[in-house]
Structure 1
Amino acid sequence: MSRPTLFEFAGGERAFLRLATAHHARCLADPELNHPFSHEDQHPQHVERLAAYWAEVMGGPPRYSAECGDHSAMLTMHAGNGDMSDLGRRFVDCFIKAADDADLPNDPEFRTALENYMRWAVAEVLSYPDPTVPKDLTMPRWDWKGLVSGTAG
């Protein structure tokens, strides 16, 4: 019997939409994260795109890749912001709390996998302090034990 993907275990696309919605709301409520999350040039479907990205990384369908671009494109959007380590920590904290807000399974192994992913993802984004990102990076895939394929940060 095979173990479900993190995407399946979470509850599929609806669960990731709830997570992205809750995370966005927490970031808007944070006094430091509010500015980057409330600017007017943000894509009108930011939350839906974020949900599709996280869902794909966690083993869901490749909607983000098909509709929004590859991993390099996502990194390029977030690269070049200099030292953002405190914002990164706050982003992870919001993500962890948003998992509760979104009513994701409270399984300790699942929650650890989510938190480990987000810590890795934030570290990867922060590893590009200037806007230069390699082209054609494949989407990362994350499972119960960590990074299975894609970029290595």
Structure 2
Amino acid sequence: MRPSLYEHAGGQAAFLALAAAHHQRCLADPELNHPFSHPGQHPEHVARLAAYWAEVLGGPPTYSTTAGDQSALLRMHAHNGIGMHDLGRRFVDCFMAAIDDVGMPDDPEFRSAMRAYMEWSVSDVLIYAPTDSIVPTDAPMPRWTWSGLSAD
């Protein structure tokens, strides 16, 4: 049986390294810097981001049992207004570069699955960018596999 993307990437330690590298890349980006450097950011942001990505990509349910659910995550990123698409592209670029930074597997199928996940994730968040958008209260936690979004 094929391992999950989480397992293939190297487990929790790999996702913690990925979240830290991604955060540093976002801080270094002149456009992404502001949302990643504001003083109201949760003190455990990097660990929570790692737990979220790990859970979505096949790891344990640490994020949903300790930090919140999908609706809370969407609300946290909602209502920023239109014009966020360039930030989304930059976010994906930083994610893919951070995968390189931490030495995650270099195989094309893994990289393709990870890029597809992050592009989907960014578009899912951007749906709620308009200031008048309504975030659902029961959004399911996504599960991403080698072949994309899982219906399970």
What does residue 74 of structure 1 align with? 73
Aligned-pair identity in percent equals 65
Report the residue type matching 2:107 in the other structure: D
Which residue of structure 2 aligns with residue 113 of structure 1?
113
Alignment partner of 2:150: what SS? strand
Q: Quote the Cα distance in structure 2 between the aligned partners of 1:102 and 1:85.
A: 26
- Give how far 1:132 is off: 2.2
In structure 2, the residue matched to 1:101 is 101
Number of corresponding residues:
149
CA–CA separation in structure 2 for the residues paired with 1:52 and 1:23: 14
SS at match of 1:4: coil
Structure 1: 5+ residue runs without aligned partners? none
Normalising by the residue count of structure 2, what TM-score does the alignment of the two structures yield? 0.96
Aligned to 1:134, the other structure's residue is in SS state: coil
Pairwise CA RMSD? 0.9
Corresponding residue SS for 1:149: coil
Q: Contact 1:141/1:147 (CA < 8 Å) preserved in 2?
A: yes
The answer on whether the counterparts of 1:142 and 1:149 sit within 8 Å (CA) in structure 2 is no
Cα deviation for residue 20 of structure 1 reads: 0.3
Tell me the equivalent position of 2:61. 62
Give 5+ residue unaligned stretches, structure 2.
none
C-alpha distance in 1, partners of 2:75/2:112? 27
The residue identity in structure 1 corresponding to 2:3 is P
Q: What stretches of structure 1 move > 3 A for 4+ residues in a row?
A: none
Q: TM-score, normalised by structure 1?
A: 0.95
Query: Is the contact made by 1:57 and 1:142 (CA closer than 8 Å) also made in structure 2?
Result: yes
Task: Give the superposition deviation at 1:138.
Answer: 1.2
